[in-house]
Structure 1
């Protein structure tokens, strides 16, 4: 059995592997083979919750697994993902630590960018400077030939640190901006990865044909995007319509459901690299966290690590540290 932690993931091309795994999970969902019920939270008397997702797939190479993570106050957000083979009943491996959840969410965002943004998209705006912003940007750099990135964060010091760190990592010019509006102006792709419960960008700021990924809060009680962006979009998609109906508070688009129908990312037609709507039309992806994707990602990473060990090669791939 393989046990992987953050140190092992940091030495692997984890995001590229995770994007492959998410594509496979979405294909399983489209074929009706994905097991992906909404997440379940167990509260601990106001201190936070333990949150569980169970998922996997049927058919060839069937997988089953779970993810458990916490929402307790603290500087870490550790989690556990376990993967079983349904055919053998074998526990294939376990992934522990902070990184996998952000990598999985980044990979889902990368697939959304691949399927929903213009193939020529090269300029990115990032609103936020935390771990989710980093993994979303890394995924974008894998699926699109990026030329320039502009970033805004309410914490100017963190904004500058993000620009320096990710610019060196991705070998891209990344410019810190003094406002979200300046960052968004002219961007082909806009990544919102904040914890803001009030809108951080406006529809009027977006260029025609921009694609927006939203990772942060998205209930009627608080949402990082204004409803006008969804109303402007020619297509609004999510990775889990089931999850959007299972939030504690209603999904932020629920009051405008007739005007803003949600598409399922797994069902989008066309090639994996072509935008499914007109080149000048805005698109929006609302990341909900499709259950089962973490099991696919963990399984892909475990298999890659095992293959490398069995081939007698080093278990490192070079530096991929965040």
Structure 2
């Protein structure tokens, strides 16, 4: 019988470490040319929205293949489906329904970036945004660094207060809501931007020297949540998929600049094939765009970890 998981089965944050290791292994395989990760594909349904597909997998001793599909239909809650096959025996390993797997996967990618780009002794996180993505990013940061404190800012004071109370209880960290984005970032070793803002909410003057920044929100020329001076100051600019960044409907916010030419693949950093952080005063930037196939790898790892349990 095919295993089917939903958001309830993936609740909490206990699966984050499993997801991070799955993404790290996928990154090494990507650097070795052993993954399938084409850009996402939009199929429009006129007047309603799109079905968006990401397809990918990994070869090697335990080859995987699969896809994720989600909708942009208006007037309905978004639905996501991830299906995973064991490619060597054509066995359907399982199906995952709901939005939580995607957030875990994105959090895990952010966690891998934090592991390889942030100061090794990073203890303070600044978060801009209080949604599910910000929660997963904080959980991922706490999985790879000795985090002791987090500051949270979002536009709605009730949301940031609820975030602080819940994440403090869930992760055992001190989480403090603050009144502006600058207050969240000024003491942070790691800054996580997970907003829908189309205008920069932070620039370089707001950041602590040597900070690492993960940006998850808008990153197009016409709409970006970070000031371009952050990219200019960054010693390292990494992304999970340069191909996906080039495939944005609206041009990527660094397109055509010298900073785009400096951008490196996170997979090459993970595999030790390109530059990583070498000093405590370096500013580093990770631009998360969504690497196809990682959701398949994470789903497979979670399905394996839950096998034998009441899945």
Query: Shorter-chain TM-score category?
Result: over 0.9
Q: Distance in 2 between matches of 1:259 and 1:8?
A: 40
Query: Structure 1: 5+ residue runs without aligned partners?
Result: 310-314, 317-322
Partner of 1:245: 246
After TM superposition, what 4+ stretches of structure 1 lie above 6 angstroms from structure 2?
A: none
Distance 1:243 1:129, change over 3 A: same
State the partner residue of 2:226: 225
Partner of 1:90: 91
Q: Secondary structure at the match of 2:256?
A: helix
Deviation at 1:47, TM superposition (A): 3.0
**Structure 2, unpaired ranges of 5+:** none
> How do 1:58-207 and structure 2 match up within 5 A?
58-74=59-75, 76-207=77-208
Aligned match of 1:43: 44
1:236-279 deviation line (CA, Å, top 9, x unaligned) = 000001100111011100131357511100101687xx962321
SS of equivalent residue, structure 2 residue 173: coil
Q: Distance in 2 between matches of 1:208 and 1:89?
A: 50
- Alpha carbons of structure 1 residues 86 and 235: separation in structure 2 relative to 1, 3 Å: same
Q: Report whether the alignment pairs 1:300 with 2:295.
A: no
| RMSD over aligned Cα atoms | 1.7
Q: 1:165 to 1:63 in 2, by over 3 A?
A: same
Give the CA deviation at 1:193.
0.3
- TM-fit CA distance, 1:229: 0.4
Secondary structure (helix, strand or coil) at the match of 1:249 reads coil
Tell me the matched-pair count: 308
Structure 2: how far apart are the matches of 1:125 and 1:70?
31
Shift in Å, 1:77: 2.8
From the superposition, tell whether residues 220 and 175 of structure 1 become closer, same or farther in structure 2 (CA, over 3 Å).
same
Classify 1:43/1:76 alpha carbon distance in 2 versus 1 (closer, same or farther; 3 Å).
same
CA distance in 2, matches of 1:123, 1:54: 36
Residue in structure 2 matched with residue 54 of structure 1 by the alignment: 55
Question: In the alignment, is the contact (CA less than 8 A) between 1:76 and 1:98 conserved in 2?
Answer: no
TM-score, normalisation: structure 1: 0.92
- 8 Å CA contact 2:236–2:276 kept in 1: the answer is no
- Cα shift at 1:134: 0.5
On the 8 A contact 2:244/2:290 being kept in 1, the answer is yes
Provide TM-score, normalisation by structure 2.
Answer: 0.95
Displacement of 1:75 after TM fit?
Answer: 6.7
- Matches for 1:228-307 after TM superposition, within 5 Å: 228-257=229-258, 261-268=262-269, 276-306=277-307
